[in-house]
Amino acid sequence: MCLIVLAYRKHPRFPLIIAANRDEYYKRPTASAAFWTEYPYILAGRDLDQMGTWLGITKSGRFAAITNYRDPNTTRQDAKSRGQIVRDFLCGNDAPANFLQKIDPIREDFNGFNLLVGDNHGLMYYSSRTGKGQELKPGIHGLSNHLLDTPWPKVTAAKERMGEALADVETMCGENLFSLLSDVSAPPDDELPLTGISLEWERALAPIFIVSPDYGTRSSTVLLQDCAGHVIFMERTFPGTIDVKYEFDIQY
């Protein structure tokens, strides 16, 4: 997962709105979002290589999502899969703050990551880079491959587009958020972040929606949770567009 933009407690009907793109190598085997056979209360896509996930929600309202922290100088080939972290939170019962306390001592087992975990009581952000967790404040937030709300062009643009979508309360729906996630426009070179990769790669990874010969946006996810606990979960996978949609009521 390389871009998450969320509106948290900013909309009168939907206290949680998520729009997210997962970027990955095209050859990595992946299953579309579904309720998992062995954990039928989990709704998420699945990385079939390591059997973790990048974003998911449970029937009890537990939510988690992860992005990589881009730092090629500290990347290790023997690190554990970061998708296991999301899976473990969704499978477990720990409150978000308690879960982060357990993750913190083992964060070096994984390559750098940013994590969102939440339940019906709140939503928290954690970065392995800082080793700090924080309660998310109401507002529009963006997360890519640096710290929360770092003003990379794609993050800034996605937050602005989310704000525009929220302004028209009556038309909040999946398609306007999928439109946000499909933006392939690239910023000029002088606005690109410097993350230790080549200029060519910085250019390729700069758009909200990434397209390159071997790597790109594999799926877009829109999640809406209303005040009554009704969840609408939509996923659009690529290449070769496939849409899935699920709706359910959280079991408090």
Q: Which two tokens stand for residue 166?
A: 């929220």
CB atoms within 10 A of CB 171: 9
SS3 of 116, please?
strand
Confidence at residue 36, expressed as pLDDT on a 0 to 100 scale: 98
Confidence at residue 170, expressed as pLDDT on a 0 to 100 scale: 65
Best CA proximity match to 71, nearest among 103, 25, 108, 113: 113
CA distances from 151 to 122, 141, 165, 170 (A): 24, 11, 19, 29
- pTM of the full predicted structure? 0.96
What's CA 233's distance to the chain center, in Å? 13
Confidence at residue 22, expressed as pLDDT on a 0 to 100 scale: 98
Confidence at residue 169, expressed as pLDDT on a 0 to 100 scale: 65
Q: Which two tokens stand for residue 89?
A: 């939170």
Bridge partners, residue 22, by sequence: 219
Which residue type, as a one-letter code, is found at position 91? Answer: C
Decide: 145 and 155 in contact? Cβ < 8 Å.
no
Quote the CA–CA distance of 250 and 118 in Å, as a whole number. Answer: 13
Confidence at residue 232, expressed as pLDDT on a 0 to 100 scale: 96
Confidence at residue 26, expressed as pLDDT on a 0 to 100 scale: 95
Quote the CA–CA distance of 219 and 45 in Å, as a whole number. Answer: 9
Range of the domain at 175: 3-249
Average pLDDT for consecutive 10-residue bins of the chain (252 residues)?
Answer: 94 95 96 97 97 98 98 95 98 98 97 97 97 96 98 98 85 85 97 96 97 96 96 92 93 90
CATH assignment at residue 136: 3.60.60.10
Bridge partners, residue 55, by sequence: 65
**Would you mind telling me the total number of residues written for the chain in this entry?**
252
Bridge partners, residue 16, by sequence: 8, 225
Confidence at residue 125, expressed as pLDDT on a 0 to 100 scale: 98
Number of domains, the chain: 1
Q: Which helix (H) or strand (E) holds 177?
A: helix 174-181
